[in-house]
Structure 1
């Protein structure tokens, strides 16, 4: 893989790090808000990518993950489309894995119109003792005003995670979408066993139905539900008691809002912090640290700016992104992971994220004093649609073109 040779600008915009950041030759600067001193390396090596499983190719992959406590296998989510089912493919965690060693965990009908399809998978935290797997997908909506319906469903495995029983599906949450884009779709459990769901603003452009600032809709928000608790009235899940609107004033599922289209987010496995990539409208892409009850400003603001301008947002009610970049550097952010592996000691505690359009992969961190440091970047040439993290903390890249890659130090 070649390295970035052009100089570009990236801005760190949080109150703690209100500075400009340069992505230079093979390097960038940035920041995070963790207080963990281990998240402050002094020297990040130059990085590159290697093909992780050279013999395997996938059909429109959008995610990769491992099951809790099982580092022997990988699961890859294939989006589906044009009468092709969405699938979860399982294969051994071996660089020499061959197509004959792959199998289907499940194959389900989806509507992959626009930005739909099979978009996310989450294993129950106690899997396989609790043999449940949750899928996030879209099906055809009820009418022309709602072309897609987002579905979060629970499936059961009867064989230790080799397959899921399609007849075991229980729909947990459904939501009709007014347009075919901005479906979000990623799902994941936090360290306390609560299921987080990221949904976009419902689509089209410029949020025409004003969902981002409407706390009475589930669109444009991060949701948090309890799939193990006693279901609330009229629901198939419990509401965590400390959700911002659990007692009223808004949709009780909402954890945070003011988001345009959260595309890939993750929990730092050491700190529990939630890092999120929110896709911009036409000017700014942003990385957010998600806080309970936080309003991230869409649509009055895009990134840390008033929508459609370079003027600072300046609204105390909104939480600025921790970092942003202009569309000269890409057009669609892909959130990633905080590195917690051992293969690249100089990368420990650094956040990795990328752009789907440009293929650039950046790093983001801060020093012990809060000042940004020069960090590395990769010009991948890939359609960076997602990242994956192994149980041992290494970070992988999912290429929508069908291949999987691992971030490694430049030899």
Structure 2
């Protein structure tokens, strides 16, 4: 990903050199009142949080001036000791490192505050104290772990930073290596040595985190290398320190903490090694407060706390420049006008800045001083890759430190090269009893001081300093509004046409489990019309034939298509059944005139509604489909499906004339269920079954004699089609002059009573 990003910038620079727009065409940056108007989207994903551990009360050193530091226990992180023991560890900023075994009872392992007294300080600045701990990946053999703490007092005159310190340094951030005599012991005993000491001007934005890349294995170039997130010492707001490659502040550093000579080594493949005037330790730069980072495989995802308005997640690669303090997020930051952010200049690409893959803004209340703390700060989290919560898989869980809001994005959508920020969703939180709660409820405070942790199996935890407790995420289920509870675990894809993709209104966000966003083909955002079909709905999707007398790909339809298969629709692979349902309103007479033939009176023989493509579909063949087709010379509402890719299809046609089922200009709730194991299909109108007949004799699904159970092909569907054929828009066929709303695709056959209940749940009163 990083390589792609650099190549793209290089191409832009080359093009800029070859062609420059006229001076009069250039747009100067202009102030922005609401940098990110889109707000986190309420999600149907519900997370259950169960209390996991509680820590003993602790006190700051010295007594704090800032009352925000008065917490029960300032637990800052949770992770697992990489020695196979299953032990977890957590640090308290006030000075102690705890281990937790299966009993979940915190037991003191190491007292950092006492070791470094009287220089140790945790009562000045929100990040001061024992900030972080990281166990070496080979801890089981070498017994090494690393900590970060802050010092002041005599340390400022008796100890010298290893890299250039900021003028007027008031605090030191210190990384220490500890070597345990017995790595299996429950209490530390061994030796220590100082690895790196940095000098910071401010009491905030010091060394926020250290860590090793978990996926690196022995022999990898990244194995055993320590990443160090160093803030700007609160000077970036008025200086260029984060952009200055000669100093370490406002950077992520990458070092080798274990070397035969010296305190640490500088990896030869660091991006600035050998550059005159630059520190070889630097991995990436241009940061204000790089608060929390984590890895998703090779990707380093960073939660970066902003200054004026922007809280952001970055995908950080070697050599990246996040832009601070020339940029805040993807906006211009003007040191002379701290009350506004500005749009980017026309020549922005020439600077090569890296921009967020997800972000939200502060939205301060009216009258709030523009330079005052608005009470928001992002805390980075983790992409869930565990095995116990499949509905959370592939989602990046993070939140807001202060008010404790919990958010997530879909990791596969966090791509800088797309030029768009990923959608931020806000899941529902419930406790072990199922009662809806907030993190403020769990923390017992409006200031949550939220953090996240992860164990060796990838399971996730939420932490609060307010009451010193940790909760584990134990369940993840989908509960989209207006969906029958029994449908929620099987709702692979759902579209209500109320959720345009931020930055691309020609796409509709999936409200189901798969995250398969839908393209609104040819008509784009204009295809959303104000005509809600059911209670709570505002918009519907309009599809239509645009120019019937002209052959061309211009009709309005929707869908998604990939000739290699759509992996996010994998839930439809090797299943016993499916369901397609939604609200439909016919606008035209139908079927549409056939624009592919010279006969002006010729019409298509079908009207496309909605369906799931087969794993070998050219855009027309389906695994499950609800539509109107000609049966024995008459147009009928049908359910049509093929169980096996390349196999024969079966059709179940409703007996009633289609105009009685779908009267013109009336909303109707249609559903089709497909039971491949039993070889049956059913149709429903407004929750009631429709009588019908099968049109193909024999055994077209080849269920006779097949191994039990009878499943669909184990191949990724090539997509979804809505309002016609060929969602990849290679040709026109079977357009629907109609409107659709509340479309749902399930990976099982719904029962008749469920179909009726869903209709009753949605219909207008």
TM-score normalised by L of structure 2 = 0.44
Partner of 2:96: 87
Match of 1:335 in 2: 380
**How far apart are the structure 2 equivalents of 1:292 and 1:351?**
21
* C-alpha distance in 2 between matches for 1:390 and 1:131: 19
Provide the aligned C-alpha RMSD in A.
2.6
Q: 1:64 aligns with which of 72, 78, 94?
A: 78
- Asked if the contact 2:232–2:241 (Cα under 8 Å) also holds between the matched residues in 1, the reply is yes
Residue correspondence of structure 1 range 222-301 to structure 2 within 5 A:
222-231=252-261, 235-249=262-276, 250-268=278-296, 271-301=297-327
The runs of at least 4 aligned residues of structure 1 exceeding 6 Å deviation read: 55-58, 368-371
For CA contacts below 8 A with separation 6 or more, give which structure has more relative contact order: 1
Contact kept, 8 Å, 1:221 with 1:259, in 2: the verdict is yes
Matched, 1:221 2:271: no
- Report matched runs for 1:7-406 at 5 Å: 22-25=39-42, 27=43, 45-53=45-53, 59-80=73-94, 86-94=95-103, 97-98=104-105, 102-108=107-113, 109=116, 110-112=120-122, 113-114=124-125, 115-140=127-152, 141-142=155-156, 145-161=168-184, 162-165=186-189, 168-190=191-213, 191=216, 192-203=223-234, 206-231=236-261, 235-249=262-276, 250-268=278-296, 271-307=297-333, 308=338, 309-313=340-344, 315-316=348-349, 317-328=352-363, 331-365=376-410, 375-378=425-428, 379-381=438-440, 382=443, 383-401=448-466, 402-406=468-472
The answer for unaligned runs of 5 or more in structure 1 is 1-14, 28-43, 81-85
Aligned length in residues: 361
Separation of aligned partners in 2, 1:303 and 1:71 = 41
SS at structure 1 position matched to 2:391:
helix
CA distance in 2, matches of 1:409, 1:20: 31
Note if contact 2:90-2:98 (Cα within 8 Å) is conserved in structure 1. yes
**Larger C-alpha radius of gyration, 1 or 2?**
2
**Superposition deviation, residue 105 in structure 1:** 3.0
Tell me how far apart the structure 2 counterparts of residues 410 and 333 of structure 1 sit (CA, whole Å). 22
Gaps of 5+ in 2: 1-7, 9-35, 58-71, 158-166, 217-222, 365-374, 429-437, 478-765
CA contact (8 A) 1:49 1:380 kept: no
Q: Following TM superposition, by how much is the alpha carbon of 1:375 offset from its aligned partner in structure 2, in angstroms?
A: 4.4
Q: Distance in 1 between matches of 2:133 and 2:90?
A: 9
Tell whether the 8 Å contact from 1:157 to 1:163 is kept in structure 2 after alignment. Answer: no
SS of 1:129's equivalent?
helix
Contact 1:367 / 1:373 at 8 angstroms: preserved in 2?
Answer: no
CA distance in 2, matches of 1:337, 1:351: 5
State the 1:127 CA deviation. 0.9
Offset at residue 342 of structure 1 (A): 1.5
Instruction: Please list the CA deviations of residues 283-314 of structure 1 after superposition, one character each: whole Å capped at 9, or x if unmatched.
Output: 11111111100000000111111124343345
Aligned partners of 2:378, 2:138: CA distance in 1, in Å? 31
* Larger displacement relative to structure 2 (55-64 or 170-179): 55-64
CA distance in 2, matches of 1:237, 1:55: 34
TM-score (ref. length: structure 1): 0.81
Which structure is higher in helix share? 2
User: Relative to structure 1, is the Cα distance of residues 61 and 340 closer, same or farther in structure 2, using a 3 angstrom cutoff?
Assistant: same
**1:410 Cα deviation after fit:** 5.5
Once the two structures are TM-superposed, the CA of residue 366 in structure 1 deviates from its matched residue by 5.5
Q: CA deviation at 1:71?
A: 5.0
2:96, 2:108 within 8 Å by CA — same for their partners in 1? no
